[in-house]
Amino acid sequence: MELTSVGDGVVAAGAYVGPYVGEVVQGGTITGGNIVGGTTLYTGYMICDDYTTQSFLNTPWKVSATNAGALNGTQKNTARTTGYSAGYTVQQDYDAVAWLANQLLLSQNVTNPTEQIDYSFAIWDIFDGYQTDPNHQGAVSGLISQAFAQVAAGYVGTNVSVFTPSPLNASQEFLVVKSPVATPEPAETGLLLVDLTAALAAVFLLRRKSIRGLN
């Protein structure tokens, strides 16, 4: 995976918000700080679901890929929190952020700075336990409520893939909508790992502690 830009470059609370743009490469190797060889599986939008780690320019690493609708326990955001995730399972959390990722990429949202901010922070807030609303309009919590309502109604994020860094502290975790990672058949919902190489460009997302207490 190589993140080639930070999208529109919209910044809120000291962080670039999604979606970003990049590509997914399977089978490449890391040589001299670059991805060499491999097959390009996907080029397009990528959405970060992890605010607590940082990603850096031209820093390659390997990732595992799983379907958001059929987790296997290797994903990064599996710790329970006392925030929005309280009362939900990890699978429900990932289905909720998958729904938000799909909504972010709708034509009326994907290039709208206000919507980019609200959807990005809704995704981050689900996993980090904070209630951060940079636009101060209450939209973030509303989006989170909508997402979990969709999950309660049966939504499953089968068209979203989760690209988790290996090791976990190597980078942020990213979501790709309509990505090349297929939905597992019922008998195959255990381990689904794809050996991918990732190199992420300038994201420079600040750690959440830098905006602790922002409402």
Residue 60 preceded by cis peptide, ω within 30: no
Q: From 45, 20, 17, select the one nearest 159 (Cα to Cα).
A: 45
Global pTM value: 0.83
Handedness of CA 121, 3, 93, 102 (dihedral sign): positive
Q: Write the CA distances from 169 to 63, 154, 164, 178, integer angstroms.
A: 11, 32, 10, 26
Q: What distance in Å separates the CA atoms of residue 170 and residue 97, rounded to the nearest whole number?
A: 21
Q: What distance in Å separates the CA atoms of residue 47 and residue 101, rounded to the nearest whole number?
A: 7
Q: What distance in Å separates the CA atoms of residue 172 and residue 35, rounded to the nearest whole number?
A: 18
Tokens of 41: 């599986």
What string of H, E and C letters represents the secondary structure of 128-181? HCCCCCCCCCCHHHHHHHHHHHHHHCCCCCCCEEEEEEECHHHCCCEEEECCCC
Q: Give me the tens of pLDDT residue by residue for the chain, a chain 215 residues long.
A: 778 888 899 999 999 999 998 888 888 777 777 777 888 888 889 999 998 888 776 677 788 899 999 999 999 998 777 778 878 999 999 999 999 999 999 999 999 999 999 999 999 999 988 899 999 999 999 999 999 999 999 999 999 999 998 888 888 999 999 855 544 443 333 333 334 444 343 333 444 433 333 33
Extents of the domains making up the chain: 2-210
Please answer whether residues 194 and 64 qualify as being in contact, where contact means their C-beta atoms are separated by less than 8 angstroms: yes
Q: What distance in Å separates the CA atoms of residue 31 and residue 35, rounded to the nearest whole number?
A: 6
